[in-house]
């Protein structure tokens, strides 16, 4: 199977909920990202582990914990050089 052959791929929906398995908080500036920002891995029920930015999790020292339930949201990630919004999926702690 050629992983880049579009005719051999299929879309598979996955859950919008998962469990945080790791995280880190970066204080290093990265173009377009406010600092600090949090990121890490979320394990979905289907067994897929996704790398993601995290949102709605401040204060970090209180809300970032391994093993908590997370939910996916779509948010602005950054603005490009033409002032267009770039959106992406992020995860936040489930309510």
List pLDDT tens digits, range 47-56.
999 999 999 9
As a whole number of angstroms, the distance between CA 93 and CA 10 comes to 30
Query: d(Cα 26, Cα 16) in Å, to the nearest integer?
Result: 25
Q: Is 50 exposed, middle or buried (0-12, 13-18, 19+ CB in 10 A)?
A: middle
| 25-71 residue pLDDT tens | 999 987 777 889 999 999 999 999 999 999 999 999 889 999 999 99
Tell me, what DSSP letter sits at residue 6?
G
At residue 7, the pLDDT reads: 73
Report pLDDT for 1: 53
pLDDT tier, 2 (very low <50, low <70, confident <90, very high otherwise): low
Q: Given this model, what pLDDT does residue 15 score?
A: 94
Q: Using CA atoms, how far apart are residues 83 and 11, in angstroms rounded to an integer?
A: 31
Whole-prediction pTM value?
A: 0.82
Pair of tokens at residue 29: 């500036």
For residues 29 and 84, give the distance between their C-alpha atoms in angstroms, rounded to a whole number: 20
Predicted confidence at residue 57, as pLDDT, reads: 92
């Amino acid at each position: 199977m050629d992983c880049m052959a579009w005719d051999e791929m299929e879309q598979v929906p996955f859950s919008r909920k998962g469990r945080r398995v790791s995280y880190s908080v970066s204080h290093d500036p990265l173009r377009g990202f406010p600092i600090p920002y949090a990121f890490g891995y979320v394990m979905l029920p289907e067994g897929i582990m996704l790398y993601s930015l995290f949102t709605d999790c401040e204060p970090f020292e209180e809300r970032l914990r391994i093993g908590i339930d997370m939910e996916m949201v779509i948010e602005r990630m950054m603005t490009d050089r033409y002032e267009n919004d770039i959106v992406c999926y992020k995860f936040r702690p489930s309510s």
